[in-house]
Chains A and B, each alone.
Chain A
Amino acid sequence: MSTILKVDDLVKNFGGLTAVSDVSMTLNDDELVALIGPNGAGKTTLFNLLTGVITPSSGAISFRGPKGTVTLNGKKAYQIANLGLARTFQNIRLFKDLTVLDNVLVAMTSQYKEGLLSTLFRLPSYYKKEAKIAKEATELLAIFDLQESVDVLAKNLPYGIQRRLEIVRALAMKPQILFLDEPAAGMNPEETADLTRLIKKVQREFHITVVLIEHDMSLVMNLAERIYVLDHGAMLAQGTPTEIKQNPAVIKAYLGEEVS
């Protein structure tokens, strides 16, 4: 197991407020890590920093990509995404008025070229490219039982399926790390069980690192190999699920919140 992402002393200030202070963490190849903490602990902010949605005030993020180790500081969100860090959002952000297939195809944009002339004048090479990439996307959708819905507009999907599609869209980027921001939020127990199976499946079939923010402790304890605990913007603890369960600092932080 080797390190794929290394975060050193990451800080984010919003005006006078420190949302993330001196956070350091490492992610290894092919592992499932959970990021937990009370509401307002800075979990989503940390995700936003790692995926380039916001820029850190200080600190370093280095990523071991296919072309060697690169620093992610100062890179734009789309560059980070194309390097292999994909994510989902706490409040689902699908392309609502696009079809399920198009949602996935958008995420594959950087994986193929159609050429301006070929596109504008509909040369045979355009149709071949379109067919090939659509086939690839449909195959991916089929893995997650979405092949029947390719032509459905994303906004017309049921809530649980929308969450699933968002994960598929992220996977379509062929990421090395997948960040899932509260994937079980708003789900009923049955849907949560489905989701747990789904995340396991993703890990098993795609061999990628998965990081998830989650409040559902049964899901976290069930899935995570390692857990990071964030509180008031600082890293409170880290360890295996068993270690975290017995950590007094963690119990204190969660008291009156959600006792697992």
Chain B
Amino acid sequence: MEASTLQTFFQQLINGLSLGSIYALLALGYTMVYGIIKLINFAHGDIYMLGAFWGYYVINFWHFNFLFALLSAMLVGAVAGVIIEYFAYRPLRHAPRITALITAIGVSFLLENGMSYLYGSTPRDFPQIIEPVNYHVFGVLISNIQILILVTACLLMVILQVIIKKTKMGKAMRAVSVDPDAAELVGINLNRTISFTFALGSSMAGAAGVLIGLYYNSIDPLMGMTPGIKAFVAAVVGGIGSVPGASIGGFLIGLLETLVQSVGLSAYKDAAVYFVLIVILLVLPAGIFGKNIKEKV
């Protein structure tokens, strides 16, 4: 009895962490973009969709292996992110923030419906490039794909953290997120830094797209909508603007979802996520790792 409860717990933990790592990868893009230009990039979930579709095509038609599919999807995500920023967001950098938000929603609609128009809206089977193998560890079922997702996601997050903390560009990103005007005064190229941020965040989304394709086997043009919103919630829970916060928030939301599902309340799993979001914001108005900046009087 005791052992089986423990098994169930670990099983859910593994499932939750796998899902959570996808949310975390997506949340990183939201948090970085929000941190630097204070924009909820609604189109971010759709870059993840683009990454999944890219993976689908290169694996099916160019017979890429997993690693090349992943890396090329990251590249495609990065390019898409930079193009979107250049054409849709850059002209609005000094416009009211709500205008930029609506533009982001417009870009999201454009990508979703453009892909539906070009490739149809029926779900496609993602090619199983990696033969699924299930391992039984102390009665807990773990698939090699889950391990792959977790390891890849964690590796990417570590790389990202290193880029932000150790490189010159990372320093510039942090400077711009604190004060863009001051950053520009000390010689930081604002446009290049913002482009770089979009590239970095969007490449994570591209990677997440390929990983989720492998995990769920199914992709469609609207696949980015719900995970996109969940990942944004994760970023807010973790403290928007904070990179570790986004990772923690992602895992937290993933675990919470699987937990609610495992106790037989799957119909309420989204409600639980939003409820926790509201509670966390009421206790910590800037999220777990966010800094609550009080207005100076």
Chain A interface residues toward B at CB < 8 A = 44, 48, 53-54, 89-90
Nearest B residue (CB) for A14: B294
- B297 close to A (CB within 8 Å): yes
CA distance A53 to B297 in the complex (A): 8
Number of A-B residue pairs, CB cutoff 8 Å, is 6
Interface residues of B in 215-269 (CB under 8 A from A): none
Q: B258-297 CB contact bits vs A (8 Å, 1 = yes)?
A: 0000000000000000000000000000000000000001
How extensive is the interface on chain B, given as a class? under 10
Chain A residue contacts of B297, Cβ below 8 A: 44, 48, 53-54, 89-90
Residues on B lying within 8 angstroms of A by beta carbon are: 297
Q: Which residues of B contact A54 (CB under 8 A)?
A: 297
Cβ of A44 to closest chain B Cβ, rounded Å: 7
Say how far B260's CB is from chain A's closest CB, in angstroms: 38
**Can you report 6 A-B residue pairs in the complex whose CB atoms are below 8 A from each other?**
A44-B297, A48-B297, A53-B297, A54-B297, A89-B297, A90-B297
- In the complex, A44→B297 CA distance in Å? 8
The residues of B that contact A48 with a CB separation of less than 8 Å are 297
Closest A residue to B295 using CB positions: A53
Shortest distance in angstroms between A61's beta carbon and chain B's nearest beta carbon?
17
Q: Which 5 A-B pairs have the closest CB atoms?
A: A53-B297, A48-B297, A89-B297, A44-B297, A54-B297
Expressed in whole angstroms, the Cα–Cα distance for A89 and B297 within the complex equals: 8
CB distance from B291 to the nearest CB of A (A): 13
Tell me the bound Cα distance from A44 to B296 in angstroms: 10
How far in angstroms is the closest Cβ of chain B from A12?
13
Give A48 to B297 CA distance when docked, in angstroms: 8
Give CA–CA (A89, B296) in the complex, Å.
11
Q: How far is the CA of A84 from the CA of B297 in the complex (A)?
A: 20
By a CB distance below 8 angstroms, the chain B residues around A44 are 297
Could you tell me the distance between the alpha carbons of A54 and B297 in the complex, rounded to whole angstroms? 10
Min CB gap B176→A, angstroms: 25
Q: How far is the CB of B156 from chain A (nearest CB, A)?
A: 36
Q: Which B residues are in CB contact (< 8 Å) with A90?
A: 297
Report the Cα distance A53→B295, complex, angstroms: 11
Q: For the complex, give the distance between the alpha carbons of A195 and B297 in Å.
A: 22
B296 — nearest CB in chain A belongs to which residue?
Answer: A91
Enumerate chain B residues within 8 angstroms of A53, measured Cβ to Cβ: 297
CA distance A242 to B203 in the complex (A): 70
| Assembled-state Cα–Cα distance A48/B294 (Å) | 14
In the assembled complex, how far is the CB of residue B88 from the closest CB belonging to chain A, in whole angstroms? Answer: 27
Q: In the complex, what distance in Å separates the CA atom of A90 from the CA atom of B296?
A: 11
